Structure 1
């Protein structure tokens, strides 16, 4: 049994921002299923958006965000976050001194798709995520303890208080350990690994979302998945992300014969919103074409994009040839655990931040480089709230470890089959026929009825969580009978503003309650 004031599951930018800004008298525990570097935040290339330019203004940033999100955003949240963005980034820049600057000493601002102004701050060219994470890691103090290679799989809830008070975990040897906290924060990322091509780290399997769902917490907007238009594609595999900033600097999407594929598709052409670009590439690939990103117009490409250059060289692509083969892949989940701006969920004591959470900022489609911004914002806001409001939770003395009484083997198809079927049935282009077929297949597997999670291995628990996420995405996609942002139905190809600006909220019924605290006490007390 390990007790903390603040228990954080996950180690991305939102988690580390939160941890480093909590008051030093707080006992903070960070649990991460792998190493801190194996997170989406660490891989982020593009940058962070904020209205910092001479001709820019938060009102323009707000307009661009609402347009990209197809007005499905929470207006109040959008205004709150984006109005604070310039001060937030300027403060972070002064503290960290990691952002690239122009010759005059001012922050260098880049342009990305669907932005009306240059407002993207970046670090090391295309190493923004890595440099932000490494800076935050350097700020971890003695009151913050990080435990790596610890897999969280079930929330612990006090039945009397109706409050989340901790989480069950497994280590690599299969030992179960319970961690407790007065505040429990899920910062576990999205579910990008549901699809065969993704920019997400291998660890991004929707664990936190599945845990929250099983505990009866509200889950929202799971149908809205952003497919990034340009993942490096070689030998049938996605090798890494080719940032949208490449197109912002002049990269052009072309077919194998050199024809520009975005001409006449959208006024912004190659910088159109991501769902438009992804669908266009998808259509060409479905018709047997190969698609490339033509980078010949970008001066000093290797200096501007050193990380992308390294990925290309590692994959056998010579950037001096001027063309990078690309394919669209899952990149960001706009939905997730329903929260307010600072991360409070529908369950007392439980918070969610980062990509695992859905604040309403992104709407139906995330505007480029708003995600790291949201993580920094939520981390700061939640730290302020916890510092001012956290109440200690009294937990009885319990032993530290226990072993499951027996072991089970999950009876689910291999996740590679799930990935292929998700792309085919619930991918960039969806239909009622394929969605219902997929839903029926998932329901026959009875994944929602799996109990006694203690008895499964980490690998099997990961499989279970991926199937739960697949179910949530599929059901939400069926319920939204329109096309909006990252959700495209070819049987309902148009937006339905009269009926479907509402949220699709999914909440698991808890006939017997999501109460595992009494079971924990029975297993642990001497």
Structure 2
């Protein structure tokens, strides 16, 4: 008899671990992760978690800030529910242990970040919030949770009813494995590695979103990519994130001559919305200037930001000089697999949470420190659903017909994908470059029509990168306005009449409708 799990979770970030930690002990839960358990974006997160818990704060203010940052493309109901739940989510974790930073009176320390109207950012370990929360969640996992590392899931398994019943994956030695489950959860993160410069972990290349898309799930808002303004920039390469909290503590962006670059650009200056700050830095860099974060007025910088200090020292930056060289890079995907607030997708049995999902919380641009909040909320919400679920699942006999469909395709170098996406579909976009990128991506249309199992894990990742690149490019080409993380120099203004409430969705636009006739299903028990 083939073993089946009650819950199969792909990914090991905060959303995944929050879910696993809250599932009932009678459920058999399995977590599989592409590489090591602690290589997720969540573990690297320097920023904190936003919650309206300050004396002068209120969820209404947090909601207003979220909507404004999202250029009012957000799903308001989603925003209200998640933001209102934030204080209790923070309180629950805070009461379990020393996860978050507190003052001498035992009160949570609250920081300020860009586009927030109040100090409401809770941090852990200064700039090690993600690590602190992940370690806490790992410590709460029960013995019904099994974790397998270095397992690369690459294909969803569907039965004849088009219900997801598991995944096909590759082990580190190339062996193909099948995992069957009554409920499959994609929590694989976004797609930051599609771009030359990024703050994301090396594993974050859109795998889960591509898998869901190929299986027929609806994907939405892929044009909205948030570029973080301040990545450490050394010798033409980005070396890590310089948290927005540094600007929240008073650092300002300057040129090599010490000229502040955000003066007169936005009322919030250096703490303006991320797309505004990123575009301004990008503009200076394109014109041959260098841009630095001037940290000279921040007291005890090395104690306040130990992780950033380590990154800088490892890359030869002398913090005593008071300047950190920076450049913008891809940071967060507002779009993803379209879900409701339980994480349910358009495919029965398939769920998505965390950055891989598009709930509508972030709109066109994520408000700083709302992402870990969303992960905690969605993990908890989905746990309540699965703890009560009693759905019967049909596991069917594997069909004899199927792959391969076409010959293997010669794939481009990964660096070529990253560089072309950064140049043509990056911070500043226009019709000419978008059409050029689309035409190039079209030459690889047939690559996903193979049996992906005949490719190596690295090649499958490349195929997924091409698929996600095309989804982003097509959406960016279609949205003829600028909004949030999507900036078009040929359409520089928001068009509220045509685009405010319009969501661009994708579903099998690469001709994969026939794939359901051939996709493998689980062996009969």
TM-score of the superposed pair, with normalisation by structure 2: 0.96
1:470-481 equivalences in 2 (<5 Å): 470-481=469-480
Structure 2 CA distance, aligned partners of 1:416 and 1:317?
26
1:512 matched to which residue of 2?
514
Deviation at 1:333, TM superposition (A): 0.3
Structure 1 segments of 4+ aligned residues over 4 angstroms from their partners: 404-410
Q: Is the 8 A contact 1:447 1:468 kept in 2?
A: no
Moved more, 480-489 or 92-101: 92-101
User: Do the aligned partners of 2:162 and 2:516 also contact (CA within 8 Å) in 1?
Assistant: no
For 1:380 and 1:166, the matched residues in 2 are separated by: 22
8 Å CA contact 1:407–1:456 kept in 2: the answer is no
Question: Taking structure 1 as reference, are residues 407 and 175 closer, same or farther at Cα in structure 2, changes over 3 Å only?
Answer: farther
Equivalent position of 2:137 in the other structure: 136
Structure 2 distance, partners of 1:452, 1:176, is 12
Please state how far the C-alpha of 1:447 moved relative to its aligned partner.
4.4
Once the 2 structures are TM-superposed, how far is the Cα of residue 336 of structure 1 from its aligned partner? Answer: 0.4
Looking at structure 2, the residues matched to 346 and 409 of structure 1 have their Cα atoms a distance apart, in angstroms, of: 30
Q: CA deviation at 1:96?
A: 3.4
Aligned 8 A contact 2:162 2:348 in 1:
yes
Q: How far apart in 1 are the matches of 2:499 and 2:274?
A: 21
Post-superposition CA distance 1:100-136 (Å, at most 9, x none) = 0012211000000000000000000000001111111
Deviations 1:422-446 (A, max 9, x none): 0110000000111011101111222
User: Could you tell me how far 1:219 is from its partner in structure 2?
Assistant: 0.4
Query: CA 1:292–1:150 in structure 2 vs 1: closer, same or farther (change >3 Å)?
Result: same
Moved more, 135-144 or 257-266: 135-144
Offset, 1:513: 4.5
* Alignment deviations for residues 430-481 of structure 1 (CA, whole Å, 9 cap, x no partner): 0011101110111122246532112111011000000001000000001100
Is the Cα contact below 8 Å between 1:251 and 1:298 reproduced in 2? Answer: yes
Measure how far apart 1:515 and its partner are. Answer: 4.7
State the 1:405 CA deviation.
Answer: 9.4
Question: C-alpha displacement at 1:36, in angstroms?
Answer: 1.1
Q: Deviations over 1:478-520 (max 9, x none)?
A: 1100000000000100000001121000111553242555x45
Gaps of 5+ in 2: none
Do the aligned partners of residues 96 and 288 (structure 1) sit closer, same or farther apart at CA in structure 2, a change above 3 Å counting? same
Assess if the C-alpha contact under 8 Å between 1:183 and 1:390 holds in 2.
no
> Could you say which residue in structure 2 is the equivalent of 1:19?
20
1:243 is matched with which residue?
243
- 1:306 matched to 2:342? The reply is no
Listed as ranges, the matches of 1:247-262 within 5 Å are 247-262=247-262
Q: CA deviation at 1:236?
A: 1.3
Q: How many pairs are equivalent? A: 517
Shift of 1:409: 5.6
Shift of 1:311: 0.4
Tell me which moved more, 132-141 or 288-297.
132-141
Question: Runs of 5+ in structure 1 lacking a partner?
Answer: 399-403
1:92 counterpart residue number? 93
Aligned-partner SS, 1:498: helix
Aligned to 1:401: none
SS at match of 2:302: helix
Q: Tell me the distance in 1 between the aligned counterparts of 2:189 and 2:260.
A: 35
Report whether the alignment pairs 1:170 with 2:170. yes
The 10-residue stretch of structure 1 (365-374 or 312-321) with the greater mean CA deviation from structure 2? 312-321
Aligned twin of 1:464 = 463
Kindly tell me: are residues 515 and 133 of structure 1, through their superposed partners in 2, closer, same or farther at Cα, counting changes over 3 Å?
farther
TM-score normalised by length of structure 1: 0.96
Q: Which residue of 2 aligns with 1:43?
A: 44
Cα gap change, 1:448 to 1:346, in 2 (>3 Å): farther
- Equivalence map 1:113-192=2 (5 Å): 113-159=114-160, 161-192=161-192
Match of 1:296 in 2: 296
Q: Could you tell me how far apart the structure 1 residues matched to 2:275 and 2:407 are?
A: 41
Distance in 2 between residues matched to 1:408 and 1:231, nearest whole Å = 41
Equivalent position of 1:234 in the other structure: 234
Distance 1:88 1:258 in 2: 42
Q: Which residue of 1 aligns with 2:415?
A: 416
| 1:252 and 1:270 in contact (8 A); partners too | yes
Is this contact kept in 1: 2:404–2:449, CA < 8 A? Answer: no
1:447/1:421 CA distance change after superposition, 3 Å: farther
> SS at 1:514's partner residue?
helix
**Cα contact 2:291–2:326 (8 A) shared by 1:** yes
Cα deviation code 1:388-438 (max 9, x no counterpart): 12424253699xxxxx99998641110101111101100000001110111
Aligned mates of 1:381, 1:170 — CA distance in 2: 30
Alpha-carbon distance, 1:285 to partner: 0.4
How far apart are 1:525 and its partner, in Å?
7.5
- Counterparts of 1:520 and 1:130 in 2: how far apart (Å)? 37
The aligned runs of 1:398-413 (5 Å cut-off) are 410-413=409-412
Rounded to whole Å, the distance in 2 between the matches of 1:287 and 1:143 is: 56
Contact 1:32 1:151 in 2 (8 A): yes
**What is the DSSP-based 3-state SS (H/G/I as helix, E as strand, rest coil) of the residue aligned with 2:460?**
helix
Q: Specify whether residues 169 and 407 from structure 1 end up closer, same or farther in structure 2 by C-alpha distance, changes over 3 A only.
A: farther
What pairs with 1:370-519 in structure 2 (closer than 5 Å)? 370-395=370-395, 410-447=409-446, 449-501=448-500, 502-508=502-508, 510-516=512-518, 519=520
Mapped partners of 1:449, 1:128: distance in 2: 38
Counterpart-to-counterpart distance in 2, 1:405 and 1:326: 46
Aligned to 1:7: 8
Q: Contact 2:166–2:179 at 8 Å: present in 1 too?
A: yes
2:449–2:512 Cα contact (<8 Å) kept: no
Evaluate the alpha carbon distance shift between residue 477 and residue 397 of structure 1 in structure 2; reply closer, same or farther with a 3 A threshold: closer
Aligned partners of 2:259, 2:512: CA distance in 1, in Å? Answer: 55
1:156–1:516 contact (8 Å) kept in structure 2: no
Contact (CA 8 Å) 2:35, 2:151: kept in 1 or not? yes
Aligned twin of 1:348: 348
User: What is the aligned partner in structure 1 of residue 264 from structure 2?
Assistant: 264
1:57 matches 2:42: no
